[in-house]
Copies of this chain bind each other. A is one copy, B any other.
Amino acid sequence: MEISLRELAKLLDGKVVGDGDVLITGVAGIKEARPGDITFLANPRYETYTRTTKASAVIVDQNHGSVDKPLIQNSNPYYAFLKAVKVFHGEQEDVLSGIHETAVIGERVKLGENVSLGPYTVIRDGVEIGDGCVVKAGSYIGSRSRLGRQVLIYPNVTVREDSILGDRVIIHSGTVVGSDGFGYAKDGGAYHKIPQVGNVVIEDDVEIGSNVAIDRATIGTTLIKKGVKIDNLVQIAHNVRIGENSIIIAQVGISGSTEIGSDVVLAGQAGLVGHIKIGDNARVGSQAGVTKSVPANTSVSGYPAQPHSLSKRLHASLQRLPDLIKRVRNLEKKLEELGEKSGK
């Protein structure tokens, strides 16, 4: 495929600066781009690469005109680039269509229009699946679960009974939705299982990565609100609630009944104890161990997690500690000498 920068700019709602006749044949990251590619600059840290990139053109924001290349200006260069990727690559997915003859479909199942069920899918009794949903090979949808419209379930996913998924939810392979919460009552030295009779509700436009575990509520609902994006290998315990458009990076663990606000970012491998609240727009650093609630609009890091600026100051202080020990020893020596002098 080959398209002029001018035509491409129209498709991306962008404005050309420089030669609109240059031909674009592909898309690439700023460091990997070769002649013919268009790339983008979103993060100012990558500005220096605009001088060395081999790309034929760059997507920049509308205030940016100093790059010595043909440009497309757009108020969101990253999102415009996303559109460019679609122009060149389209959808490359394994396409499924229709109900495979091996799909095992229970009783009282309602299937919408244009539903696709892959080989060896199992749809249990009372399930409802909305228009345009795709459930790929080997996936399991438990009894009475409901999928909205255009839900995409990759191969080998398990959705346990009574789960409710909104529209356009995407779940990647190996993920388990609705497994039992981890709850036991100790009695006579042994643990007895607490029945986990709640469910999981996942709202519209949520995407969940691979090998994630989301437990059903003990009673009530484990709730993932609209637009939340969850990376791979994340643990979400029973009765957790996650607010709209929050981002949960890989290998994060959230303990039972903790509430995450909206627009929160939990960076990779962070761990949160149970029964706390993370306020809206808060940010939890990677590997942070959060042991108490975090106010809205704040940033925490470290273990136990503290305000990020404090964590940084303590870390900087710690670097000076070995020297400080020497200085204190030196002071003690001098003081002793002084004491001896002045004492005698």
A residues engaging B (CB < 8 A)? 27-29, 32, 76, 78-79, 81-82, 85-86, 89, 91-94, 100, 102, 104, 118-120, 122, 124-125, 136-138, 140, 142-143, 154-156, 158, 160-162, 170, 172-176, 179-180, 182, 184-187, 189-195, 197, 205, 207, 209-213, 215, 218-220, 227, 229, 231-233, 235, 237, 239, 245, 247, 249-251, 253, 255, 263, 268-269, 271, 273, 286-287, 289, 302-304, 313-315, 317-322, 324-325, 327-328, 331-332, 334-335, 338-339, 341-342
Contact = CB atoms under 8 A, between A and B. Distances in A.
A130 to B, nearest CB: 19
Nearest to A248: B182
Contact of A320 (B81, B124, B319, B325): B325
Contacts of A232: 176, 179, 182, 213, 215, 235, 237
B189 A245 contact: yes
Contacts of A155: 122, 140, 142, 158
A175 B210 CA distance: 9
A193 B209 CA distance: 12
Given A94-B142, A161-B94, A335-B334, A249 B182 contact: yes
A233 B231 contact: no
Q: How many monomers of this protein are in the complex? A: 3
24 contacts: A76-B185, A81-B194, A91-B195, A100-B104, A138-B156, A154-B160, A173-B176, A179-B232, A182-B231, A184-B247, A190-B245, A191-B245, A213-B250, A231-B235, A233-B233, A235-B268, A253-B269, A286-B289, A287-B289, A320-B325, A324-B324, A324-B328, A327-B332, A331-B332
Nearest to A244: B190
Given A78-B185, A235-B251, A342 B341 contact: yes
Contacts of A331: 328, 331-332, 335
A287 to B, nearest CB: 4
Contact of A187 (B79, B195, B197): B79
Contacts of A303: 287, 302-303
A93 to B, nearest CB: 7
Contacts of A213: 174, 209-211, 232-233, 250
